[in-house]
Structure 1
């Protein structure tokens, strides 16, 4: 067991009862009375996305799916900057059908991401898809079923090389091959939540929250089909 896992083991155990509790019907759906502020049905290409690949692979958007089939690191950024509060949803299916990249692992996300080297424009700094290149982000990061589907973690990057503070470290829940995983992310001031199939996986209170920035799908050596990308704004932000 690493020092990091020991340090956060007690926190994870304490949080597990509430952070992994089943969602109620009301809290699981953000749509009622919310306004849709961004979406992609993945039928018209990658115009809303910027793709960063470590060692190539394919990323396409057609016929209702974002297909990510890569041999190494891949980050797919939503070009529009998001301002909280918001709730973001998508469905991702880890493909396991015998393909060369069909390793069930790493359903990951960055959100509210800002690159400290170009804080006003995330895309003014070039990145090549390797995970270490993202150390200069200030962002939240979930690695769900990472490390060949053995860990599920929440990190809060602080924009420093080699520093990726770990907030929660679980050995479950993990990815299920060929099963749709419906993800919901809530960014609401100090409230940071990440759900999967109605289950609240991470429920974090951040006294110094990241409240705006960019969202990305992140994975490495895997094959995913992603659909139904939506971002909702709560009523109090409507004019």
Structure 2
């Protein structure tokens, strides 16, 4: 059984282990749903906004969003999303000898709002460095971050230098060349991040962020991403 990297007390530790345990249910996939957004990555970056700390390339063609960057990079989906929804994509960390082929940092922001321009995320310029996102209220998953040694969930509160940690694991981590089939559930107080059918983060937020923007985030890495879909979930049955 995986262990947390920090002590959160018996209750938090138990919740962390439960989040990583296999599940027999199909979670949000069992709910009726309708497609509200998608990108087949065949027609460029019209639906995306990129923020690059130190250059690199972000392209969308032939069914693949390719992020190949030497430092921090955030790729925002321009459409604001409202919950409840299920978001899914597949990401492959590239390890083929390229200068940026460091297997690390399959990260996401979701339900993000910038407190400096709460009605328009893109009205405030950002340059891709991580501390520039401290003004967000958002969830942030870092899967295989810190040179592929940590997997964490944070809940940003819009204050510089404050990035509250919800879960902190030593595994699961990225495997070079292997697909990561990610699902993010935003369903009221339920906040989940799945990978290849495994529930990695399962958080019940008493003051949830229920709408905002989604982004791919990475640092000094190379990813190929496909199958981006967002589904509206029907309300839960009483």
- TM range, smaller chain: over 0.9
TM superposition score normalised by structure 1: 0.93
Contact (CA 8 Å) 1:12, 1:169: kept in 2 or not? no
Residues of 1 paired with 2:132 and 2:221: CA distance? Answer: 19
Shift of 1:10: 5.3
Unaligned runs of 5+ in 1: none
Alignment of 1:50-89 (within 5 A): 50-89=49-88
Shift of 1:24: 3.0
The alpha-carbon distance between structure 1 residues 98 and 28, as it changes in their structure 2 partners (threshold 3 A), is farther
Shift of 1:21: 1.8
1:152 lines up with 2:188 in the alignment? no
Residues of 2 paired with 1:9 and 1:70: CA distance? Answer: 38
> For residues 123-164 of structure 1, what are the alpha-carbon distances to aligned partners after superposition, in whole Å with 9 as ceiling and x for unaligned?
000000000000000000000000000000000000000000
Shift of 1:23: 3.6
How many pairs are equivalent? 233
TM superposition score normalised by structure 2: 0.93
Shift of 1:235: 2.5
Alignment of 1:1-239 (within 5 A): 6-8=6-8, 13-24=13-24, 26-27=26-27, 29=29, 33-236=32-235
Aligned Cα root-mean-square deviation (Å): 1.8
Residues of 2 paired with 1:11 and 1:221: CA distance? Answer: 35
The alpha-carbon distance between structure 1 residues 61 and 17, as it changes in their structure 2 partners (threshold 3 A), is same
Unaligned runs of 5+ in 2: none
Contact (CA 8 Å) 1:9, 1:169: kept in 2 or not? no
Contact (CA 8 Å) 2:84, 2:234: kept in 1 or not? no
